[in-house]
Amino acid sequence: MKIKILFFLLLGIAAGAQNNRFFYEYKFIPDSNNKEEVKKEMMLLDINKKGSAYYSHDKFVADSTSKAELEKQINSGTGNISVNRRDRPGQVSYKVTKDYPDFKTYFFTTVSTDKYKIKEDKKPEWKILPDQQKIGEYNTQKAVTSYGGREWTAWFSADLPFQDGPYKFYGLPGLIVKIEDSTGSHIMTLVGNKTIPSPSEEKETRLPDNVSILGMGGKELEISKDQYKKVWKAYVNDPTKNMREMMMRSGGDSNTKVSFKMKTSDGKELSDPNQVFKEMEKKTKEALLKNNNPIEPDMTK
């Protein structure tokens, strides 16, 4: 009898150490002036008893591969470190986490060379409607909300007992199976799910004292939404400010060498800092003009 009790105890522990992973196909139109160009990204929503995390599958794979390659080079002891840009780095760079049971929500993103953690100060206020429809294998019910500068329609399923959903959406009596904004610019649809083992706590890669790699290592700076808006406006006005300041700071340090290289659209390699920054600013501003339709417009106003 004791053996059976122990067996069931172990089963309970194993079940508690599982993540429910939900796969969402995210379709989005980055440029409101070119509605024919619809992009797709596979997003993951991992749910466990502590909370959830929503992020890009491609970015996760690219970051994990880069981290493994970097650690291998550091451990080799040769002193040579080279970081290559991944072929599929992911189109969606942000991550959203929610802490249970109060659904404390954080938005993680990078602006220029800095990483930020922004606490969400508003929760979705839902109006549940009687409309029902079957989406895939799930019976769903309709709900609507105004959030982040857009009007949203969600379809949730009580068959999936999670009051969560993609991005910052939560608070319905069942998992959100599909959600779409009124313009059709942003659509997230559940396309699959599976149970996976809970990952072990991620350890930060320790770089040598004389090595700094943009976008890798370092902690996020926790700021408010209002502070983030100011950061974003400053970046839009001067996209290369952080990198220029980094080069100026390292200019007087004989032990630090910072160099920037990039190629123009016609394949010409630039190494002169002034030319690099000028080209970088040009490309960034062009990209911003073509990415004028964010999922949450209120974040960049």
For 13-30, the pLDDT digits (tens) are 334 458 999 999 999 999
Name the residue with higher pLDDT: 262 or 149.
149
Q: Is 110 helix (H, G, I), strand (E, B) or coil?
A: strand
Mean pLDDT, residues 119-136 taken together: 96
Asked whether the predicted pLDDT for residue 86 surpasses 90, the reply is no
Asked whether the predicted pLDDT for residue 7 surpasses 50, the reply is no
Q: Are 107 and 94 in contact, with CB atoms under 8 Å apart?
A: yes
Cα(245)–Cα(11) distance, integer angstroms: 55
Q: Which pLDDT band holds residue 89 (cuts at 50, 70, 90)?
A: confident
Mean pLDDT, residues 127-143 taken together: 97
Average pLDDT, the chain: 81
Mean pLDDT, residues 253-261 taken together: 53
Q: Which pLDDT band holds residue 113 (cuts at 50, 70, 90)?
A: confident
SS3 content of the chain, % helix, strand, coil (to 5): 25, 35, 40
Mean pLDDT, residues 157-181 taken together: 98
Name the residue with higher pLDDT: 151 or 268.
151
Q: Which pLDDT band holds residue 11 (cuts at 50, 70, 90)?
A: very low
Asked whether the predicted pLDDT for residue 230 surpasses 80, the reply is yes
Structure tokens at 263: 């190629």
Specify the pLDDT at position 218: 65
pTM: 0.79
Q: How many CB atoms lie within 10 A of CB 190?
A: 25
**Percent of all residues in the chain with a pLDDT value above 90, rounded to a whole number:** 57
- Residue 66, CA distances (Å) to 114, 141, 202, 212 in order: 19, 41, 14, 15
Q: Is 22 helix (H, G, I), strand (E, B) or coil?
A: strand
| DSSP strand pairing (221-223 vs 114-119) | parallel
CA angle 262, 60, 176 (to 5 degrees): 130
Specify the pLDDT at position 241: 82
Asked whether the predicted pLDDT for residue 206 surpasses 60, the reply is no
Name the residue with higher pLDDT: 139 or 197.
139
Specify the pLDDT at position 49: 94
| Bond into 124 cis (ω within 30) | no
Cα(152)–Cα(250) distance, integer angstroms: 47
Cα(234)–Cα(244) distance, integer angstroms: 14
Name the residue with higher pLDDT: 79 or 47.
47
Cα(241)–Cα(283) distance, integer angstroms: 14
Specify the pLDDT at position 61: 87
Specify the pLDDT at position 195: 95
Asked whether the predicted pLDDT for residue 194 surpasses 90, the reply is yes
CA angle 22, 28, 30 (to 5 degrees): 140
Cα(222)–Cα(105) distance, integer angstroms: 12
**DSSP state for residue 84 in the 8-state scheme:** P
Structure tokens at 21: 């992973």
Asked whether the predicted pLDDT for residue 104 surpasses 90, the reply is yes
Q: Is the dihedral of CA 21, 22, 23, 24 positive or negative?
A: negative
List, in order of start, the domains of the chain with CATH numbers: 18-223 (2.50.20)
The string of DSSP letters for 208-253 reads -TT---TTSSSPPEEE-HHHHHHHHHHHHH-TTHHHHHHHHHHTT-
Give 99's strand partners: 51, 104
